Each structure stands twice: as C-alpha cells, then as structure tokens.
Structure 1
C-alpha cells in the first residue's frame, strides 16, 4: 500500500512548525526583554546610589584629612579591622569544629526547644530514619492535651532537621503559646537500608495515629509541611484521606514545571543538567546514597553574592553581635543529610522532572496512584512572590491542575485557602520571626474556625493589625476565588510548560542508556571508602572544615588569642569614613556578583528556551505533555454522591436549615470576615444542637448543604419553610443567623436583601428578636 503523502498534510505540518517557531521567538524575546529591564532597573539604581555614596565618601575623606583626622581615623580603623578579622576567623574556626562535632553526634535537630522522642522509625515494621518528637513547652507556657495537636514535617532537602522550630518565634512557638501540643517529625542523617518514600509515608501516617492515641479528646491533628515537607504532607493526606485535620503547606514545590518567563531559573536545572541522570550518577558515586550537600550547593548558587560573600561580610562587619546567630544558622545549613537512590530518584522523576504529582500520575507504590483530589482535609497554602526556590506558581498551580473548576472543589467538599506574601524569601517562610509572628500566627488561630467554612476556594488576606509582640492580633477575611483568579494573577504562560515534557522524555531515555551501558561499571568501581572520600572532598564540606582545629592545626592558635582580643576590643567610631569605605567596597563587589548572576540566569533561561522550544523537542515531549483529563463540570451533577445529596433538598431539620441559611448568605457576600467566622464556629461547635455533633458529621452536613446550593440555589432557598414548619424553630433559626451576621449596618446590601427574603419565606416580616449583646469567649477548637 502506497503511503499517502498529501500536500495538504505537509502544509499543515509546516504551519504547525512555523507556529512553534513563532512562539519560541516570542518567548525568547519576552524573556530577554524582562531580564534586560530588570537588570537595567535594578543595577541602574544601584550604580547611581553607589556612585553618589562614593562621591560623598571622597568628600568625607578629604574633610578628615584637611582637619588632620585622616591618620587617626585610619589607625583606629586598622585596629578595629584587624580585631574583627581575628574574631571572624575564630568564628569560622568554631563553625568548622561545630560541624564536625554535630556530625559526630549524629546531626541532632537544631530545634530551639527541649523535646522527647515518641516514636523511633527504626523500630517500625518498615524501618525508616524518621523520628516523632514531642516538644517540651518552655517555662511559663502551658499546653492542654485536649487542644488540637500540631505535627510539623520538616523539609528533607539536603540540610538537617529542625528549621521549623529554629527560633522561639517560629511555627512551634506560635502553636505552643496558643496551648497546643506540638510534635515534630525529624530524620537522621542516613536512611535505613532499603527504605523508600512509601515507607516514610506509612511511618508518618503511624505518627499521626500515635498522636491521636495520645490525645483522644482532641480533634484530628494539624499537619504542617515546610518546603519538601509540604509535598510530603500532600502525599500523606492523598494516601490517607481520613487520617488528619487541616493541612498547612508552606513554600512547597508541587507543580514543578510552573513559573514565569524572566524569573525562576531553578526550574530549568533538569533540562540543562541532564534530567534524573545526575542524581543517579551521584547516588552511585555515593555507594547507594545521594549526598544532600549537592542540593544545598544548588540553593547557594541561586544567590552567590549572599551565600559566598554577603553573609561572611555581615559577620565580619558585626562580629561582636552576630557570632552566635551565625553559628546557630550554620549548624543547620551545614548538617548535610543523605537520601538513598530510590528516594532521590522518585523525587526527581515524579516531581521535579516528571511533574506527575500535580497531574495526578504519581505512584508511590505499584498500582496506587496519588490523587490530590482524594484529600478531604482543609488545605492552607502559603507562598511568596519573593521565593526564588518555590515561586507562587509552583505552590498554587496544582490546584488548577487537580480540579476542573472551583465548583468541583465545593462539590467534593474541599476547603482550600491560600495566601501569597509579597517579598519574603524561601527560608523566610519558615525561619523569619516576622513571618512566624504574622502569617503563621494568624493561620494558627484561623485553623480553629476554618472547618466551619463552606467548601470552596478562598484567598486569605490580613486586613489590619492590632497590638504588639505576642499580644498582636490580626483582622483577616476570606474571599471566595475562582481558579481563573489563580491562573490570571499568578500564571503567565502555562503553554510554555510543554517544553518540560521534552525534558522528562530525554531524562527517561538518558537514564535508560546509563543503566544499560555505564551503571554496572560505575557501581562495581565505587567502594564505601571511595564514596566517603568523594563526600569529604565536596567543596561545601572542605570550605568549612578547612578552618576546624581538627583539620587545620594552624587555626588552634586563635583559641588562645581571642580572649585577649575581646578584652582589648577597640571598635572604630560609627562615623569613621574608613568604615564607609569598607561598606561601599563590599556593596560594589556584591553588585558585581549580582550582575554576573543576573546575566547567568538570562543565559540559562534563554538557552533552555532555545533548546526545548523547537518543533523537534515539542514533538519529542508530546506524549508527556498531556494535561490531566477533568470531568465536565456539568457532569458532576450526576455523580452518585451528588444525586444522593440533591434528594435531601426538601429534607432536614433545624441544624440543616441553619447551615443552609448561613451558606446562602455567605454566597451572597462572596467573602467571610474573621469575626463572623468566629461567631459561626462558636455556634456550630459550642451551642446545641450543634455541639453534640461529631466533627465528621458536621463537615458532612456542611458539604451536603453546599452541594444542594451549588446546583439548586433558588430551590434550596424556597425549600426553607418546608424544612422548618414550626414558627418557633423559624424564629430560633433567624436569631442564630442574625447573631452570626452581626450588626446590620456592617452587612452588604445583597445580604440584607437575602435576609429579608428569608424572613418573608418564614412569614416573619418583622425582624426576629436578636439575642442581647454578650461578650464572646473565643472558641478554643473547631
């Protein structure tokens, strides 16, 4: 049979290729323009400011010389600079020795709290290197066992454990001060032989079960996942939908192909460095273990001026006050941890290269897909526009990928809240004290009431701040959002993500070739001794250990000299012009490094676009570029569970009616203020006949009424009189609803109109008697 080489088909293929070339040229142009504009804006302003500062400094030096102070200022600065140099070297010496001692002790977590071990993962049927710790509250802080516990999962991303409790003003501190028991999931330096991420997930599920056993009177635990611990939390909840309470996800990379043109260069690593192949090779060179120092070094490369110079200059400039905080942070940042080959391979192939979790294709165990749609716990997602490791697109796009639209979120009874910070960086999400005292503090108190929200997608905003310190209180509101609100504000070009499908395809081909041709030889050549030698030679370790006493005998003399230097310390006067010269010199060097970084990132992105935006690469990645198939929103009505709920449109009693009225009124507003949410939670959890409901039953009732209103809003409203035929019940229901709504002067006109219509349906034209004003105690638990 002769092939049909149709001219029209050939023309169609040519037009498609031309369209691909056109889109590639447009993206290249856009990326170059954005990089150029950013470089011009940022560095232009910095150069102007630096030049003005240099001119001012020249005048100060000239004036000091004219007054005869030049030699005196130079001498004072020389003494100060020499002393600071010795103290800085001694700090680096202590850091190097601290690293060695920390590793010799098994790299314990860097928590700023005392703790006790509850479960050792090595003793489980499927042993893992994870541990469950219970945080001991500090003096003056009391926790109650009946309050909802917190379980914080720290990120296992190369460094050690404990960053979520690194400071007193942290996630741990916020929860403890609110009286909640706090548990922390940490990990040892080396994985147990043969452990997998499935084993880790089962261990974490066991941790939650143990917490629930220890707190039988408390609601289900809150699970907080930081960075890598965030996607691990989602995996845990997807595999065990009924096991936990609300989930708080901080800076977690889930939709890893996402980002903005002109930003987020880290997402291009897989395409430019060989996909999963480097991880497999590094694991083989590590004799089956992947060294976390590689990951930490990748993070440092994102901001070389800060990580390779700036933090050391800040230490040198303020060594008298920064020494301890520098050592505390470096103890965590330098505590390199390991993953085995199976773990790192799953992370790279399923997440960072394959993006399978976001698309519903990830498998943790054979035959068991992980579907984020299966999660039943409320989810709070925290992201930041200043995060260059996990940009908001990667933290939020999985919502868009998972659900057909916001209606499906409501129909499935899910509550998803998100908050996007303007500028905090990746580590600041769970390290910065200001964030711990703001966003995390507000989330901690909001979790008490979130489960009374109707299902849906919400953005949480902080509208006002009252008080200071630990007494600080935030006024927040929840705004109903559509999936298009996320995609419109946080996404720029999702079609560009198709480029990453070619990366995944090439990665699979590359790993297959390596496993067939080279891997047996590499594994045969690498011995445990050679693997240890390779680890010890890593620059991230040698740069630290070079200053340690045990590795550099020349540094030992500093130990005896430092007390003398501290006793004779002579800081230069703050207005000494040589200090300004030092500062400006450092600023100039850092700006030069930043410029090189920005040029590197521009070249990095445009190289990726030039390689993977071609018609051949689009064709190569086409089998993996498919998006998740969503059910038509109109078909969701015919789900068996939805049909069963719609049958209850005319059925129900007092509780169902009040919940339906509250949801109808919330729909009319489109947002929920914090004070109304608290009153709603107080009624639905502390007043009868709602207080006797189990949380699961209350959640089911809220979901059922939400689904009815979603598909039949007018019929649901018209059916209210049939749900409450007795006048006394109608009056009582209106009283409760009006109490939750609050002062009528603060209501939206649509809310007032809907409330009046409800009165008319109940044949209660006159306003129902509102309960006398009372002082409410804030509900302790949802």
Structure 2
C-alpha cells in the first residue's frame, strides 16, 4: 500500500489553504464579553486549531498503526517506489538464505540502455527492512534509472532461513552479482554496487573474498573501523564495553527462540537522540498535521518494519565487527578456516561517502580502515588499489540514503563520474563536488550540474580527521572482556534460556516491544481509536488553522524548543558520563593487568602475511620495470600525462570526457575499451612513480615514428590545458618530454593545436 494513499473507507488528506487564505478563514463565534479582548480572541482561535490538530495527529498515528499491520500481513515487502520483478530467490538455492535479487522495472519515460554499466543497490539488514535505497523517486535507484542504467536491488525477507549464516549470505550475494554481470556482457565494466550502512561492510568483504564479481563499490555511511571516533562526540562506540560485551545480543536471540529481533537495533539508534525520539519527531507531525502526514507515513512504513536474524548471524556481527573489530586486522576467516578476508585484496575502486553530521557512522569509522591497512599512499599504489572518499558537511545518517538534496548532488555526481573513478590511477583521493560558472572553459564536457574533481590525499589527511587514535586502545580490553563474558554466558546461562524458550514465548516478547506497541496500540485494533477515524474527516472539512502570529502558537513553539533543549542537555550529560565511566573502567592499567594483557595490548600482523605482501609488491615492481621499454601509442600518451603532472594534480572529469568524446569518433575497430584504458593508466602511472627518468628515456621506444610522436604530444597538450594554460612547472616538463621525443621544434604547433 502506498503511504500517500488513504486506506479503504478513509477520507483523503486535503490540501492546506495558503497562508493568505488562513487569515481569512471564518472562526466560530465566542462570547461577546470577550470580543474586545484580543488575547481572548487569540486563545479562542488557538484552542480550535489545537483541538483540530490533535484529532488529525491521532488520525495520522492511527493510519501509521494500520499500515504497519498491513505491511506485516503482506510479509514485509521491500518499500520500493519502483516496479520490480524477482530474478533469483535465495530461499530456493541449495544453501537457502532469506535474500533475493530484484530487477527494477523503470517507467516508460526512462528507458534502460542495456549497454550501460548495471547498478546494484544493497540495503542494510540492521533491524529495518529493505528499501531505504529506493523508497522515493530522488534516491540511489532513482538516479540510476534516470541515467538509463540497468538497475538491480538485493532485498531480504523478515525471517531468516534455518541455519543461515553471514558466510551463506555473502556467497549468495556473489551469485546475484555474477547473474547481473552475465545479463550485461556488453557493458563497459562489471556492476557498480552500492552498500548502504551495514551493507557496506558486507559488500567490502565480498569484494575482498571475490574480487572478480564487482566493479566500483560505494560504501554509503558504512562503518568499517568500529572503534574509531572523536572524544565527546561518538558515544555509541562505548555501548559494547558498558554492557559487558556481546552476550546480551546472544541472550536476546536465545529468548527469541534462536532469532534476534531487529527492533532492539532500532531502539539503539533511537536512544542516540532522545529529543527527536521522545518529542521532536511526533511534535513536528502535530505542529504540521495538515501537511506532514504523507511524508511521515512514507518514512514510518520503512522505519517500523522490524526484521529478524539467526543467532549465528547477530553473534558473528557483534563479535567480529562491532566489538571485536577483526575485519581491518585481517582476522576474519571463513567457517572452514581456509580463507582470510583481507581488504587489501579488493581490486575494484572503493568510494566512501560519509558525513560530519552522522552520529551513527562518523567519518572516522568510515575511513580509519585505510590507515589500519596502509602506512602511506605508496603502499596503496603498490597494492594497485584506488580509494576515493567524499565528506558531506552536515547531513545525518539517514539523510545519506533518503535526502533528496544528497541524491541529487553527491550520489548523482559520483554516479556520473563512475567511469572516471574506474580508471583513476591507484592512490587515495578526495572527491570535491563544486558549482561551476556557465562560462567555465569547456563546460560542455561537464556531465552533471556540478564539477567533480578528485584531489590526491595522503594517509596523514585521513588521520587528521580524527583527534588521535590513542582512545581506541581501551577497546582491546573491551574485546577481551567480551570474549570472557560470552564464554561464561554460552557455558552456564544459554542452555537454560534456550530450554525455556519456544516460538510462542518469542512471539509474545516481540509483540510487547515498545517499538511495536506504540504502533499497534494506536491502530484500529484499539476500539478507542474508532472515534478518531470517525471525527478526522469532519475536522478536515471544517479545518481552521490559526494565524502564525498567534501568541499562543508562538508559546507552543517556544515550549517545544525548550523541551528539545532540555532533552539535548540530558543527552549530552548522559553521553559525557558514559564516556568517563568507560575510560575509568577500560583505560586504566588495572583491568589489562588483571586480564594478563599488559599495559598496552596490541594485535600484530603475522610475519608470514607481512612477508607475502612484501614479495607481491616486489614482484609487481619487477614486472613494471620490465615493461618500461614496451607499449603502444596509448601507453606513451598516458606516460606523458603522468610524467608532466607527476601525481600532484587534481583529476577532474573534463579531460576524461574529452578523451571519451574523441574515442567515440574513431572507427569501431580502432576504439579502445574502458578496460584497456584502465589497465594502461594503472601500468603507466606506476612506471612513472617508480622511475620517472627511465620512463622518460624509454618514450621513443613506445612511439618510434615521428608522426605518431607529434600526435601524442598534441593530444597531451590539449588534455593538459583543458582547464587553463600550463603553469611553469608543467610547461618545463612538457618541453622536456618534447625534447626526448624530438618534437621540440614542433612545440609551438602543438601548443597552437592544443589551444
């Protein structure tokens, strides 16, 4: 059921009159004795408005309860705003899981171009149901469809299959992505995959375990470095330590007859911001009861859908990730112990999108896995990995996925620059999305509404986003305490809890969870709400909004603001107390000593793994040095660009779009594919970074004919000057290349042709 449509037998929500009409709306007469008193008149108007808003507010909550119950009876389908069809149902596979692959069916006005790169969106299984990546038109799926890309969605169902594990889910998602790739053999690359929130770490693990199944991957608001954060700002990371580790999630799963209720995860999110949870969210509906209903119901349909996990799944997540933080340490292994998940194995470009306004996944948790893996950018380059990050200044966690402004700017522009990201030389970049003047040079080569630039960054730039990482050391102690408590619970308590639990008791416990009671209690299953259903249409017909200048309305708004400030002060005091309590327990020397961990417990990488990585890096260096004197005209052209810029320039979309435009003008038999271009970029940028002088001296061997050399230099000049004339440093290098190739006498011609 569409959240914007009224339920059967219910009057549709009427449009609100304009402000100019509100002031002219008639009001009931009041006692003549009060007529000369403006304050009494204002009170009378406000009283009528407040009563009407109260009825409309209760009716919106009643409709929310009804829609939640209807959503549950329908099996909690994905709340997608787009038509779709099921391609593969994971419940029918030999190793069944409660996941499915959907093909998004676009509207006729947005035809799919089958040769475009396919997009796949993975939503988080973090308490809520699927659909946040596409539950309205301005969304990740919406952007992909409007751009003509084939779009797919990985959904999941409420109940997990018996025995289902995280490893089973990852294996199934790999099957889905291979199916998508097989349906688009003529696409320029492998599927582009978006992992939202908790789906981000699942996607990153999949890309590391099966590097051949994904193209570029986008981690949107995804936590990967779980212990990271800033003192005084990120209290959620302390919860595991203050609760004694991971045993509570195991207890909740045992009480649920082996299944963990996602409503507890949702409650953890809501506890972060009590002013919004306890007051502001519902007050905004009450204050704007005429207009806020459709938007509120649309979001609550997703927010109120709580899904389940097997105990094996929630145990794996909290023990390996949230509390254990084993992923970046290379300590996550397959069930048989034969495979280690090493994030350095990811071969696809990784795009990280985070926000400074996100208090659930702050930028430090989204990005600190990079310095965990690499000491410097040279190691990233040696590992042939490309990492791009984009930071929003203010949007909250949910806004990363549902905000129309984010969908129409950050997501849209990153999607437009996807092919460019795919061919970026290995390294670390920050994406900057900026306005551009209409008279900017070559503005016709800018695809979206903004100019996208990729500025080179270092590991120090990532570390500078944090206030230091010493505050992560106590979490090593938390991990050890959690392991001890988990072992004690599994040994002594879990057998008794499981013996006393069954599906009847589990359903009863789930039914009385506060997140469900607040909806079911105000639905039509409550006879008291029948008068609300009967009165709401009459109130809408006789609606008389109060003037915004009414003093009592202003008092209401001031009172609400004070309540929000008080709850925010409570939140700040609570968070500060929890941080101090955590540090007093885990940051002191006594607990590590008691556990036999020493004063500064640290995890060290296996010497064998370190030696293997060093050997792989040396092998790649030898291979690059062997190829210095070999290559094509394309290799020579890209080597010239790498040598002139020397890796110190921002890379933007205009030069790439120019090259793509020129490539389309070539005969089909001579066109270079995106994969060939990408391979040459990576090879030549690495060769130049290893030995720039030798790379320069070998250029004549790549293009022995003078005509080809001049063509290379003219095209290089045209690309290098697309944003403006060469500066002195680049011009000197350009002339140095021209001298080596013997085209220096034609430099003026090259300059003129480039201009």
TM-score by shorter chain over 0.5 = yes
2:545 to 559, 571, 578: 571
How well do the aligned residues superpose, as a CA RMSD in angstroms? 2.4
SS of equivalent to 2:431: strand
Deviation at 1:773, TM superposition (A): 8.4
Deviation at 1:466, TM superposition (A): 6.5
Does 1:541 pair with 2:516? yes
**For residues 507-586 of structure 1, what are the structure 2 equivalents within 5 Å?**
507-550=482-525, 552-586=526-560
Deviation at 1:519, TM superposition (A): 0.9
C-alpha contact (below 8 Å) 1:449/1:681 kept by paired residues: no
What's 2:15 paired with?
A: none
Deviation at 1:364, TM superposition (A): 3.8
Deviation at 1:252, TM superposition (A): 0.5
**For residues 651-666 of structure 1, what are the structure 2 equivalents within 5 Å?**
651-666=630-645
What's 2:324 paired with?
A: 354
C-alpha contact (below 8 Å) 1:156/1:228 kept by paired residues: yes
What's 2:205 paired with?
A: 235
Deviation at 1:737, TM superposition (A): 1.2
C-alpha contact (below 8 Å) 2:424/2:678 kept by paired residues: no
What's 2:17 paired with?
A: none
Deviation at 1:493, TM superposition (A): 2.0
Does 1:645 pair with 2:624? yes
Deviation at 1:539, TM superposition (A): 1.0
Structure 1 residues 360 and 463, CA gap change in structure 2 (3 angstroms): same
Does 1:337 pair with 2:307? yes
Structure 1 residues 695 and 560, CA gap change in structure 2 (3 angstroms): same
Structure 1 residues 668 and 331, CA gap change in structure 2 (3 angstroms): closer
What's 1:398 paired with?
A: 369
With 594-603 and 637-646 compared, the bigger mean Cα shift is at 637-646
Structure 1 residues 466 and 200, CA gap change in structure 2 (3 angstroms): farther
SS of equivalent to 1:760: helix
C-alpha contact (below 8 Å) 1:158/1:292 kept by paired residues: yes
C-alpha contact (below 8 Å) 2:718/2:754 kept by paired residues: no
C-alpha contact (below 8 Å) 2:721/2:754 kept by paired residues: no
The whole-number CA distance in structure 2 between the counterparts of 1:673 and 1:633 is 35
2:697 to 718, 725, 745: 718
The whole-number CA distance in structure 2 between the counterparts of 1:745 and 1:593 is 53
The whole-number CA distance in structure 2 between the counterparts of 1:733 and 1:223 is 35
What's 1:482 paired with?
A: 458
Does 1:137 pair with 2:106? yes
Deviation at 1:579, TM superposition (A): 0.8
C-alpha contact (below 8 Å) 2:710/2:750 kept by paired residues: no
The whole-number CA distance in structure 1 between the counterparts of 2:629 and 2:255 is 67
Gaps of 5+ in 2: 1-33, 439-445
Deviation at 1:662, TM superposition (A): 2.0
SS of equivalent to 1:730: helix
C-alpha contact (below 8 Å) 2:255/2:501 kept by paired residues: yes
Structure 1 residues 466 and 137, CA gap change in structure 2 (3 angstroms): farther
The whole-number CA distance in structure 2 between the counterparts of 1:681 and 1:364 is 42
The whole-number CA distance in structure 2 between the counterparts of 1:117 and 1:624 is 49
More helix by share: 1
Deviation at 1:679, TM superposition (A): 2.5
The whole-number CA distance in structure 1 between the counterparts of 2:718 and 2:520 is 65
- Cα-to-partner distance string for 1:697-741 (whole Å, 9 max, x where unaligned): 443332222222222122112221232222112111112212222
Structure 1 residues 447 and 773, CA gap change in structure 2 (3 angstroms): farther
1:319 to 283, 289, 297: 289
What's 1:48 paired with?
A: none
What's 2:739 paired with?
A: 760
C-alpha contact (below 8 Å) 1:293/1:336 kept by paired residues: yes
With 657-666 and 279-288 compared, the bigger mean Cα shift is at 657-666
C-alpha contact (below 8 Å) 1:411/1:710 kept by paired residues: no
1:117 to 56, 78, 86: 86
Does 1:159 pair with 2:118? no
Does 1:75 pair with 2:47? no
**For residues 140-539 of structure 1, what are the structure 2 equivalents within 5 Å?**
140-218=109-187, 219-367=189-337, 368-465=339-436, 473-488=449-464, 490-539=465-514
Structure 1 residues 628 and 309, CA gap change in structure 2 (3 angstroms): farther
Q: Report the count of equivalent residues.
A: 707
SS of equivalent to 2:80: coil
Does 1:625 pair with 2:595? no
If the length of structure 1 is used for normalisation, what is the TM-score?
0.87
C-alpha contact (below 8 Å) 2:433/2:450 kept by paired residues: yes
The whole-number CA distance in structure 2 between the counterparts of 1:758 and 1:633 is 37
What's 1:46 paired with?
A: none
Structure 1 residues 194 and 353, CA gap change in structure 2 (3 angstroms): same
Deviation at 1:628, TM superposition (A): 4.4
Structure 1 residues 453 and 271, CA gap change in structure 2 (3 angstroms): same
Deviation at 1:275, TM superposition (A): 1.1
**For residues 605-620 of structure 1, what are the structure 2 equivalents within 5 Å?**
605-619=579-593, 620=595
What's 2:18 paired with?
A: none
Deviation at 1:643, TM superposition (A): 1.0
